[in-house]
Amino acid sequence: MIDKLRAWARRHTEQNRYSPVGVVFHWVMAFMVLFQLGWGWYTSWIPPGGDKLYAYEVHSAVGLPIMLLAVGRLVWRIIIPGPENDADTQGIQTQIAYAFHYVFYVCFFGLPLSGWVMWSSVAEPGPLYLAGLVPWPQIPFDQLQLTTRWIVMDVAEDVHHLLVLALLITVPLHVAAALKHHFWDRHDVLRGMLPDIPDDPEASPHRPREPRLPAGSGGG
């Protein structure tokens, strides 16, 4: 099964592209993380009350699936190696790009986990729902003393803020590097992360071309 998946993915990675699964993971999660950064920031400005609580419920409902998607993405990434592209030979720049990818994976897990801990440690947390639909349990911190719960809340909040800061530094650099490689260096790295939609289906690399018939042979 894994060998078949690898063989399928190789058809894409051999052309310096991420597989369609890798591409979908990237863009769905990139959109969700960017939404979370904006929504979390917006929520922090709402005065305490029902609207703020509702905004945090939305924040949690979108944030928790990121953790589950990250499990799937990590497994996929371990089974299916990424493509080799022009940007993989840039020495220290390449190492920094890889380090950023690790930071992103830490954030995919660390942000939802610290959010979940914060949510579970406040005095009377509301219910949590995955994507607003599937009930998600609280961590049973109600067994702990109130002061311990405040300490847990404090630490989790610091971790959450630290990881948000890490994303605020790394994401703009990641995006700027992707655009620089594409428009300045003319590297194939961004193309490899975009969906492979040929303008002309006949020109698809996965579809062998029909041999052209000589003029006048009835081929039109």
Q: Do 98 and 34 meet the contact criterion of CB atoms below 8 Å apart?
A: no
Q: Which of the residues 15 through 34 are near ligand HEM (CB under 6 A)?
A: 22, 25-26, 30, 33-34
Binder among 8, 41, 54, 183 for ligand HEM (CB under 6 A): 41
**DSSP state at residue 134:** E
Terminal-to-terminal C-alpha distance of the chain: 45
- Closer residue to ligand HEM, CB minimum distance, 37 or 144: 37
**DSSP state at residue 122:** S
Stretch that binds ligand HEM, among 6-14, 46-54, 62-70, 200-208 (CB under 6 A): 62-70
> Measured from the CB of residue 173, what is the shortest distance to ligand HEM in angstroms?
11
Is residue 42 a contact point for ligand HEM (CB under 6 A)?
Answer: no
Q: How many CB atoms lie within 10 A of CB 111?
A: 24
Distance CA 25, CA 165 (A): 23
Question: What are the residues whose beta carbons fall under 8 Å from the beta carbon of 67, sequence distance 6 or more?
Answer: 108, 109, 112, 113
Is residue 118 a contact point for ligand HEM (CB under 6 A)?
Answer: yes
Binder among 9, 64, 80, 152 for ligand HEM (CB under 6 A): 64
Question: What are the residues whose beta carbons fall under 8 Å from the beta carbon of 183, sequence distance 6 or more?
Answer: none
**DSSP state at residue 128:** E
Residues contributing to the site for ligand HEM (CB under 6 A): 22, 25-26, 30, 33-34, 36-37, 40-41, 44, 56, 59-60, 63-64, 66, 73, 77, 82, 85, 87, 97, 101, 104, 111-112, 115-116, 118-119, 157, 160-161, 164, 167, 171, 174-175, 178, 189-190, 193
